[in-house]
Structure formats: C-alpha cells, structure tokens
C-alpha cells in the first residue's frame, strides 16, 4: 500500500478576505479522492478572526483565573468568551469551546499571526471546511475531502500533534467493529481516529514555525464519504468519564 503526502508551495501570507480555495487550486493540482489538509490558522486569518487584547475588558472571573497563572486577564476573558465550560482553570487552563473541542486556552493562538494580534479558531470549523471543500470541487471538478487542523496537546503524554477540528466529506472515525483480525477473531471495540491520524501526518510537513506550509495534500487513500461532521468524534457528556473526573477535581 502507498500513500503520498506533499505540501502546497507558494501559499502567501493570508489576510482577511483571502479566498483559500482559489489560492490552493492556483498552486497545486488536485485529483479525485485527495484529502486537502489545512491549518486552522490560515482559515482564521482569512475569516478575519484576529483580535487584540486592547479591545477586551476582563470581568471578575477572568481576573481571578488570571491571578492564579501569569496570564493577562484580558486574554483569560477572551478564552472564557469562547468557552462552553472551563474544565480546569489551574494549573492548566483547559476548556471546552462552544463547538465541543476540548483544548488549552480555547485554541487562541499567537503563533504565525501579526504581532499584537491573536487568532481564534474558526467558530464553526465544519462550516468553514465545507465551504472551502465545495469551492475546491467547484473549481477543479474533482471529488475531494478536507480536514481542518490545529496543534493540540494530549492527555497523559508530553508533546503536541496535529489534530482534526473540522471535516468535509470524510468521517473522522473508521469503525472496525465486526471485522476480523489475522486470527479470525471479531474486533469488538476498535474505532480508528482517522481524521486525527491524517492531521498528524500532515502536521509533520507543516511544522509549527516559519516553514510557510499551511496546506498538505494526502493522496492514495479512498476515504471520501457523504455528509460528515467533526461532532462524530466528540464523546457525549454522559459517556465522558474524563470530563466527569475533571469536574470533580475542580469543585
């Protein structure tokens, strides 16, 4: 089996209003079943989701949390504004965003953004991903999938990896239940997190610094699906024992 992964060269510095789909299509050739992996930072910039701390007035809760960390209370307020729930406020500041993504500091990012500005995650990553995916299909006439990524830490392990925060026409989970292993045993629980695996592979080429590679094409996998959503990957509150545990700790 064989899979290819390559960067799209010559992507400019992205500004508000830029048309990401056109920029990608001008700089690479797309084939059927390609998976276009895009760093959320450039989508946030194109959507104008940058902001400045000067424009934020922190409330009481932000001041309290900020005082526990060495954090600017205005930054903490920005995180609170983007969060459905604070899961841990100290010694890490872990929240669930309104979109259901659990991450440190609501994914607000200072890296690869103009000095003095912060970048939000796209507010509805599936919607952003679908808009770009449909536009690429329109321009190229090819049937593709898109994965929107961010860099995230993992519980229990040191180090960040690329993870999926939005999908277009690819299910984030591949269900192996009912399939056989090499010895004929039926697999009972394995659900492979394929969108995160692809995001991790693409992130290897993107890097985290000044490489300038926010778009990676993955070719050779046949994973295109009909309608799909990143929500398929989030555990329901009822089933999520880690969240329950964190809530107990914070009481």
Q: Which positions lie near ligand GDP, rule CB under 6 A?
A: 11, 13-14, 39-42, 45, 109, 111-112, 150-151, 206-214
Under the binding rule (CB under 5 A), the answer on residue 41 touching Mn ion is: yes
Under the binding rule (CB under 5 A), the answer on residue 151 touching Mn ion is: yes
Nearer to ligand GDP, 58 or 120 (CB): 120
Q: How far apart are the first and last CA of the chain?
A: 50
Region near Mn ion per CB under 5 A, out of 103-111, 127-135, 179-187, 222-230:
103-111
Length of the chain: 251
- Which run of H or of E encompasses 168? strand 157-168
Residue 111: other Cβ atoms inside 10 A: 10
Distance between CA atoms of residues 163 and 196, nearest Å: 5
- Judged by CB under 5 A, the residue of 112, 140, 152, 228 near Mn ion is 112
In the complex, the smallest distance separating the C-beta of residue 29 from ligand GDP, rounded to whole angstroms, is 18
Contacts of 3 (CB under 8 A, 6+ apart): 218, 219, 220, 221
Helices 125-140 and 20-27 cross at an angle (nearest 10°) of 40
Under the binding rule (CB under 5 A), the answer on residue 89 touching Mn ion is: no
Q: Which does 210 bind (CB under 5 to 8 A by kind): ligand GDP, Mn ion, none?
A: ligand GDP
In the complex, the smallest distance separating the C-beta of residue 48 from Mn ion, rounded to whole angstroms, is 16
Under the binding rule (CB under 5 A), the answer on residue 208 touching Mn ion is: yes
Distance between CA atoms of residues 141 and 139, nearest Å: 6
Q: Which residues lie near Mn ion (CB under 5 A)?
A: 41, 109, 111-112, 150-151, 208
């Amino acid at each position: 089996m064989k899979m290819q992964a390559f960067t799209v060269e010559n992507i400019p510095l992205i500004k508000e209003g830029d048309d990401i789909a056109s920029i990608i299509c001008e700089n690479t050739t797309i084939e059927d079943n390609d998976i276009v992996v895009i760093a959320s930072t450039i989508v946030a910039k194109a959507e104008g989701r940058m902001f400045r701390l000067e424009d934020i007035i922190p409330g009481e809760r932000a001041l309290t949390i900020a005082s526990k960390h060495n954090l600017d209370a205005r930054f903490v307020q920005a995180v609170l504004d983007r969060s459905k729930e604070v899961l841990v406020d100290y010694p890490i500041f872990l929240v669930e965003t309104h979109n259901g993504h659990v991450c440190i500091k609501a994914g607000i990012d200072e890296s690869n953004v103009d000095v003095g500005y912060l970048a939000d995650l796209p507010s509805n990553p599936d919607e952003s991903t679908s808009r770009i995916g449909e536009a690429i299909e329109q321009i190229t006439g090819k049937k593709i999938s898109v994965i929107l990524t961010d860099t995230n830490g993992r519980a229990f392990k040191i180090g960040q990896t690329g993870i999926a925060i939005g999908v277009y026409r690819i299910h984030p989970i591949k269900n192996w239940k009912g399939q056989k292993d090499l010895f004929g045993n039926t697999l009972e629980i394995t659900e492979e997190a394929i969108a995160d695996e692809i995001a991790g592979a693409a992130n290897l080429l993107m890097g985290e610094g000044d490489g300038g590679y926010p778009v990676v094409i993955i070719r050779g996998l046949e994973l295109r699906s009909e309608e799909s959503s990143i929500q398929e990957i989030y555990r329901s509150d009822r089933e999520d024992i880690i969240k329950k545990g964190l809530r107990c700790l914070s009481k």
